Amino acid sequence: MPTRVWCLTMKPHVCTLNCELSEALYVAEQKAREAVTMSTKAQKEIMLKE
């Protein structure tokens, strides 16, 4: 379930901190996936040049 939809189902007083943490973790995961993809692509390009 997307973070924002999940947050809308929570009680307002609980939502703020949980939603901020959830959103931060989601962004961190996306950035990590991007970094792995870029690293893999760079490694493949290096192997092709050799």
Distance between CA atoms of residues 16 and 12, nearest Å: 7
Q: pTM of the prediction?
A: 0.63
Sequence length of the chain is 50
List, for residues 1-50, the tens digit of each pLDDT value. Answer: 445 555 555 566 666 777 888 889 999 999 999 999 999 999 999 999 88
Please calculate the CA angle 43-46-48 and round it to the nearest 5 degrees: 110
pLDDT at 37: 97
pLDDT at 15: 67
* Domain positions in the chain: 3-49
Using the Cα atoms of residue 26, residue 29, residue 34 and residue 35 in order, give the sign of their dihedral.
Answer: positive
pLDDT at 19: 81
